Structure 1
Amino acid sequence: MISLYPPDFDNADPLSEEWETTPRGSKDTLTSHSLVECVLFAVAQPRDCFIKAFYFEQA
């Protein structure tokens, strides 16, 4: 089970051009694209890898 409780973030439509062009630097607002990549990273790990938590923080 994965639960996410991110702070405020920009929610671009994954089917729009904005999905790939939204700034994702350390000083920018967290994006839904970044959240998706974190989840994909977690589920792609081997079964013997345990990720206890992800922390999303605004810079």
Structure 2
Amino acid sequence: MRLFLWKAVLTLFVTSLIGALIPEPEVKIEVLQKPFICHRKTKGGDLMLVHYEGYLEKDGSLFHST
């Protein structure tokens, strides 16, 4: 019984982790401003500050902004 419970918990954990890593296909990303010259490209582990605004596709209303 314990083995079954551990397998069930592990399966739920792995499937939720995989689901979190796969991006949503409906998400659209639009770059409005890009630097002309990039002096230093980002690397893994870098901290980035970004500004974004999220709009609903159905009516264009703003639902979140940083």
Q: TM-score, normalised by structure 2?
A: 0.28
Bigger relative contact order, structure 1 or 2, given CA contacts below 8 A and separation 6+? 1
Looking at CA atoms only, which structure, 1 or 2, has the larger radius of gyration?
A: 2
Q: TM-score, normalised by structure 1?
A: 0.31
